Amino acid sequence: MNSKKNILIISPFFFPEPISTGKFNSDLAVALSDGGHNVTILCFHPIYPDWKVSKSSEKLKNITIVRGGSNLKFSKKTILRRLVLEVGFAFFVLRNLRRYNKKIDLVIPVFPPSFAFYTILPFLSKTSKKVGMIHDLQEIYSSNKKGKINRIVKFVIHKIEKRCFNSCDKLILLSNEMKETALNLYGLDNRKLEIQYPFHTIKNEITNNLSEILKADDINIVYSGALGEKQNPIELYNFFKFASKKIDNVVFHFFSQGSVFDDLKKENKNSQIKFHNLVLRENLEELYSRCDLQIIPQLPNTSKGSLPSKLPNLLASGCKTLIITDKESEIELLFNLQNIGTVINSWDFTIILKTIQSILSKDIDVVFQKDIAKELFTIDKMINKILN
């Protein structure tokens, strides 16, 4: 048993944000609190996925939530938006750190963003253990962009991430692929690195609220979650337009929010492509149970940067899943090893279409897929690696 610890989590994204890092951080904080630890989170008011501040006073039992960023404005331009996030959160954390610094046994910075942790390193108590949680390697995404400004951005990201990662006593990465990439990029001590896949939160509690959206008589092909650059959204939308003319009785659905989502929704004139806001958290399992196929798309050459956080829940729900990712990526190797799901390495629309038709025509071993998912993607293993 671990002794009771005072734990400080540092990330702008937190409850009640419905997806991605916010949801992950919330589940992590609850699990640590349920384990008997005192948990404090320095975070922003919810901003994701719309990148608009939504002031919140919502609480989680036995967790101290310290919120900031209520007056921030975020640009639609990615570089400016990221700058506001990084600098704004850094100032917020600096202002609030001294209230907790001397009492903290364990600091958990969740990367990205990284600049806040970078700025507070000189002020952290030397007795506090620092366990970094790496969700994305931002340098990977910046590497795909060209131009002088983007080269400068990449240089700055490299310097900040290298200092942050090397300053942690332990780093937890969500895939072996991320680990090997981080080792090569930042010269890390391999002994400090731990691998743990993200965890599922499936509870087998299926509601009955989506029957009018995902109709039983339709073939429902779904993308759900954050819709940003790394999901290759425009190409995904163009594929939906292409495939809508090739498969009878199919409806393609986007469940998301944010500026990219809004732009695609305004452009769309295709009656077989539907746009919906994110479903409530309690309806997620119903969403998975009603769709015939979920697609997880990745922008080419970015698989080393992250592992999709929604993947565990999709697999644990027994949903048919198609992942478009890089050749020999972590996901492809894992799926082939465990004989679960379907992975392709091409954005050729004809190849994607044939793969989808093949998936839809076959049954899957739902029980086997659920068992594998629940074995690989468990929060208990994550908590153990953080604390020990």
Domain 6-195 and domain 219-375 have a common topology:
yes
Q: Using the predicted structure, report yes or no on whether residue 67 has a pLDDT greater than 80.
A: yes
pLDDT at position 1 over 80 = no
Average pLDDT over residues 12-35: 91
Q: DSSP string covering 187-221, please?
A: ---GGGEEE-PPPP-------S--TTTS-TTSEEE
Q: What is the pLDDT of residues 166-217, one digit of tens each?
A: 999 999 999 999 999 999 999 999 999 999 999 888 887 899 999 999 999 9
pLDDT digits (tens, 9 = 90+) for 211-226: 999 999 999 999 998 8
Name the CA dihedral angle for 67, 72, 77, 79, rounded to a multiple of 10 degrees. Answer: -60
Cα–Cα nearest to 258, from 290, 231, 218? 231
What is the CB-side half-sphere exposure of residue 185 using CA atoms within 13 A?
24
Q: What is the dihedral of CA 73, 284, 298, 232, to 10 degrees?
A: -50
Is the confidence at residue 351, as pLDDT, over 70? yes
Burial class (CB in 10 A: 0-12, 13-18, 19+), 89: buried
| Residue pLDDT, tens place only, 78-94 | 888 999 999 999 999 99
Its CATH class, for the domain covering 219-375, is alpha beta
Token couple for 145: 């962009």
Of the chain, the percentage scoring pLDDT greater than 70 comes to: 98
Helix (H, G, I), strand (E, B) or coil at 109: strand
* pLDDT one-digit tens code per residue, 44-64: 999 988 889 999 999 999 999
Residue 269 burial (CB < 10 Å; 0-12/13-18/19+)? Answer: exposed
| Per-residue tokens: 125 | 């108590």
| Residue 228: predicted pLDDT | 85
pTM: 0.86
Residue 304 is given by DSSP the state: G
What average pLDDT score do residues 259-264 get? 92
Q: With contact defined as beta carbons under 8 Å apart, do 129 and 6 qualify?
A: no
- For residue 79, what are the CA distances in angstroms to 37, 139, 150, 154, 306? 37, 13, 9, 11, 19
Residue boundaries of the structural domains of the chain: 6-195, 219-375
With bands split at pLDDT 50, 70 and 90, how would you rate the model's confidence at 102? confident
217: burial class by Cβ within 10 Å (0-12, 13-18, 19+)?
Answer: exposed
What residue type is 113 in one-letter code?
P
| DSSP annotation of 271 | T
CB-based contacts of 46, cutoff 8 Å, min separation 6: 14, 16, 17, 22, 53, 54, 56
Other Cβ atoms within 10 Å of 84 Cβ, number:
17
Q: Taking the CB of residue 200, how many other CB atoms lie within 10 A of it? A: 22
Beta bridge partners of 322: 295, 342
Q: Tell the residue number behind the tokens 């609190």, with chain if given.
A: 33
Residue-wise pLDDT tens digits, 279-336: 888 899 999 999 999 999 999 988 888 888 888 889 999 899 999 999 999 999 988 8
> Tens of pLDDT along 232-247?
999 999 999 999 999 9
**Tokens linked to 203:** 């509870």
Exposure b/e, 57-75, CB count within 10 A at least 16 = b: eeebeebebebbbeebebe
Using one digit for the tens of pLDDT, what is the confidence trace for 132-151? 999 988 888 766 667 787 78
Per-residue pLDDT, 78: 82
Question: CATH number of the domain at 6-195, please?
Answer: 3.40.50.2000
Indicate if the pLDDT at residue 257 is higher than 80.
yes
What pLDDT score does 201 carry?
Answer: 83
pLDDT tops 80 at residue 2: no
Distances (CA, A) of 213 to 8, 91, 204: 41, 43, 21
Of 98-102, 162-166, 349-353, the range with the lowest mean pLDDT is 98-102
